[in-house]
Amino acid sequence: MQLAADLHRSGVAAPRTRSAKKIVRSVERKAERVMALAPHLGADLARVAAALEEHRGRDAELVPCHGDFSPRNVLVGATRNAVIDWDRLQLADPARDVAYFGTWCWV
């Protein structure tokens, strides 16, 4: 997690922004598409989007985030570690990288 923390403090420019509000809107759009194919799953996803919106609170300060920070994108070496696959670099809530990594470890 030190690699993510270093990135979050770096101030590096990122090509896009991913706020919590944008994430909720993305889930809402996906729920609409799923609803057409599997109404029961779409309804569940719509409830998830509503809960996210209800509990989102204020947006955190947006900082540089990897966007796909997971064990598969961390190379561990004998003397140093490196992060690869930077195509999802974005300004986002730093909790996004931490949660994404944790989800990968849990699954």
pLDDT of residue 107: 64
Instruction: Tell me the two tokens of residue 31.
Output: 């729920």
pLDDT of residue 63: 95
| The residue to which tokens 């955190």 are assigned | 60
Rounded CA gap, 73 and 94, in Å? 17
pLDDT of residue 105: 87
Mean pLDDT of 12-17: 91
pLDDT of residue 81: 95
Q: Which of 91, 102, 20, 19 is nearest to 55 (CA)?
A: 20
From the CA atom positions of the chain, what is the Rg in Å?
16
Write out pLDDT tens, residues 40-95: 988 888 888 888 888 776 667 899 999 999 999 999 999 999 999 999 999 998 98
Q: Which of 63, 37, 34, 60 is nearest to 46 (CA)?
A: 34
pLDDT of residue 24: 84
Its pTM stands at 0.72
Q: Which residues of 15-41 are buried (b: 16+ CB within 10 A; e: fewer)?
A: eeebbbeebbeebbeebeebbeeeeee
Rounded CA gap, 11 and 81, in Å? 20
Predicted confidence band of residue 27 (pLDDT cuts 50, 70, 90): confident
Domains of the chain: 1-18+60-107 (1.10.510.10), 20-58 (no CATH)
